[in-house]
Structure 1
Amino acid sequence: MPAAIPCSPRVPPALLSPLRYMALLLVLLVGLAGLAAGCAAPNGRSGADLTPGQDTLPQAATARLDGVLLAWRDLPAPPGEETARPLLLLTGFAMTGEGWDRQFLRGLNAGRRVVVMENRGMGAAAGLPPGAPVDLPTMARDAARLLEHLGIAKADVLGWSMGGGVALELALARPERVAALALYAPPLSGAAVKPVLDRMFAMSPQELKAALFPQDWAAAHPEVWAELPRPAPLPEGMAVRQYAALCAWPGVAERLPDLRVPALFLAGEADWVCPAEDVRVQAQAAHGARLELVPQGGHWMMHQEPRTLARLVDDFLNAQP
């Protein structure tokens, strides 16, 4: 296991500028180019068969649980799949539920109910009091509260990036609530991911856009920019609070031998945010975990290979009792 490196939750100056941060987020989700007509290619990325109306998520529902407003989008199970175990989705750093790839969501939703949860203070759950804690174990408790509120005794859980850390915290603290885990590019620790976030916030919009996907893949799939979900506004200050929370998170690598929930770790071989080697370290530490590497997959690989990822998750979850 790599030695821990000191991690100060000092926020980089670039992140303190809401206008700059929103500009970076827009680049992240929409891109600077490719929104013009004619950029979509019929033989582009796998799953590039979006049709009008399919990319709209259900309106968010909200509930105040233990004094904190939580929000989620409920995608009901299709006919004939009502008895399948529900799947809870936990979102990554500085993202709302709008950031999930729609083709990926449809693939997951084809065989089960999917609940897309917002992290506290994000999306329709905006308005978190300044003194309310924002840390990964607290977000895991929010997830457990939401499952209880929805009457879901046990769910499968998929976490992306920071959401993967939240999913691991949930499974370690409340294993009776989690049937199986799918961990998509989970960070090893805050110390490991902090230099990457600082590098990201120091990039110009053009540099960040160029780094979103592997260069060769992006050149071959120009339609990806038009198909990215449109961003939702971020509540003021939440990116800063999540940054500090993620930076201070020690990770769970030392506790992973105690994980007793079946786990699938998904890593992109070209992921520079949560590198495949960091994901491999976690998969090797977790008893009986499965590791799947996606060639040319970056941190945003659900926008590259939505069908492939949905199939890997679906096959794994369907194999669990």
Structure 2
Amino acid sequence: MVGGMNRPDGEARPLLNGVRQWVKVAGAAHGTVPLVVLHGGPGGNHFVFERVAGPGLEAARTVVYHEQRGSGRSDPPEPADAYSMPLLTADLRSLLDWLGAEQADLLGYSFGGGLALEFARACPERVRRLVLQAPALHLRDPEVTASQLAGFAEVAQGDVAARVQAILREALSPEEQLERVWGVVDTPTVDRFLFQRADVAARNRALWAESGLTNSGAMHRVLAAQPPTGTSQHLTEITAPTLILAGRHDRNVPLAQLERLAAALPAGQLHVFGSSAHFPDLEEPDGYVQAILAFLT
């Protein structure tokens, strides 16, 4: 067993908590505590991350990519609505057992950051350090909803801007407004919402197309209907050293919320990328990798 782990480099689809899930190990020769990467979405995948920020991390660390049940290259669960934060944390615990790792560092981006916090609260003995990139603590956070509505109003142009403003004037709840807005925005608007640089947004789109992977939306629909787990009210229980990564221009998860999160965690710290929106791993990959490696070592 090397570095607390007994799996070599390569892809696998082990049975984790009753569901066959995609896992990739890279950099096993380094023999470090595994850095397990948790994607966003919910229901996303690691295809883009593997090709942009991933190689820089793999050059120094043992990196484990895991695509959650029903996501990317992993199988959907049976029954089809078998999604919950306790199930996802149980899947992650099963992954560490399969790896032969007593402990891991977790790198979660967006929804994956919220999942990393859930796991650290449920299984603190299995977590050494946490890296959370714009973590989403739950899917119906009023502050996040307000930030996203304001963000779309900021970046929408022309006819799309008119449709967005019309929705914002309707007598709907903010959640209903946001759902309607997502239904009318086009690809250029979404790219301006998520990114500061048009060339990076275009590269992201090209890699998405190359992957051939899609998000069914099933996990999001199920989790959005469930109440928050309460982890946000118990942050003082999460004592693992934690690095929060934020893009200064993130319209998806507001910087003010991430500042409060870093302050609330007993061992939290914040790193802000000045030229990024929601994806500093794509817009500032070199600085992103350097910040993570410096924190983990």
> Structure 2 residue aligned with 1:303, among 271, 282, 290?
282
Counting only pairs closer than 5 Å after superposition, residues 142-161 of structure 1 correspond to structure 2 as 142-161=91-110
Aligned partner letter, 2:56 = G
* Per-residue CA distance 1:133-179 (angstroms, 9 max, x = gap): 21233212211110111101101000000000110011000011110
Give distance in 1, aligned partners of 2:221 and 2:80: 16
The structure-2 alpha-carbon separation of the partners of 1:315 and 1:72, relative to structure 1 and needing over 3 Å to count, comes to: same
Q: Does 1:121 align with 2:86?
A: no
The residue matched to 2:88 in structure 1 has which SS? Answer: helix
Partner of 2:11: 60
TM-score, normalised to structure 2, is 0.77
Q: Which residue of 2 is the match for residue 74 of structure 1?
A: 25
Q: What amino acid is aligned across from residue 14 of structure 2 in structure 1?
A: A
Number of aligned residue pairs: give it.
252
Tell me how far 1:224 sits from its aligned partner: 5.6
Give, in whole Å, the separation in 2 of the partners of 1:131 and 1:123. Answer: 15
Tell me, yes or no, if structure 1 residue 213 matches structure 2 residue 205. no
Aligned twin of 1:49: none
Distance 1:68 1:177, change over 3 A: same
Query: When you count helix as a share of all residues, which structure comes out higher?
Result: 2
| Partner in structure 2 of residue 87 of structure 1 | 35
| 5+ long unaligned stretches in structure 1 | 1-57
1:85-122 deviation per Cα after TM superposition (whole angstroms, max 9, x unaligned): 11000010131121315231111111111000001112
Taking the aligned partners of 1:234 and 1:129, their CA distance within structure 2 comes to: 20
Query: Does the Cα contact within 8 Å between 2:35 and 2:106 map onto a contact in 1?
Result: yes
Matches within 5 A, 1:220-231: 222=199, 225-226=202-203, 229-231=207-209
Moved over 6 A (4+): none
Assess if the C-alpha contact under 8 Å between 2:200 and 2:283 holds in 1.
no
Distance of 2:50 and 2:248 partners within structure 1: 19
State the identity %.
29
Alignment of 1:8-87 (within 5 A): 60-78=11-29, 81-82=30-31, 84-87=32-35
Could you tell me how far apart the structure 2 residues matched to 1:305 and 1:72 are? 26
Structure 1 residues 100, 90: CA separation in 2 closer, same or farther (over 3 Å shift)? same
Distance 1:306-1:317 versus aligned 2 partners, 3 A rule: same
1:204 offset after TM fit, Å?
1.6
Counterpart Cα distance in 1 of 2:183 and 2:125: 38
Q: State the 1:191 CA deviation.
A: 2.0
2:269 maps to 1:290: yes
Counterpart of 1:65 in structure 2: which amino acid? L
**What letter corresponds to residue 204 of structure 1 in structure 2?**
D
Cα root mean square deviation, aligned: 2.3
Aligned to 2:217: 239
Q: In structure 1, how many angstroms separate the alpha carbons of the residues matched to 2:231 and 2:22?
A: 26
Q: Quick one: which amino acid aligns to residue 138 of structure 2?
A: S
Q: CA separation in 1, counterparts of 2:74 and 2:10? A: 12
Question: Given residue 162 of structure 1, which amino acid in structure 2 is its aligned partner?
Answer: F
1:76 CA drift (Å): 2.5
Listed as ranges, the gaps of 5+ residues in structure 2 are 1-8, 149-177
In structure 1, C-alpha distance between the alignment counterparts of 2:292 and 2:183, rounded to whole Å = 31
Q: In structure 2, do the counterparts of structure 1 residues 245 and 202 end up closer, same or farther at CA, with 3 Å as the change threshold? A: farther
Contact 2:194 2:279 in 1 (8 A): yes
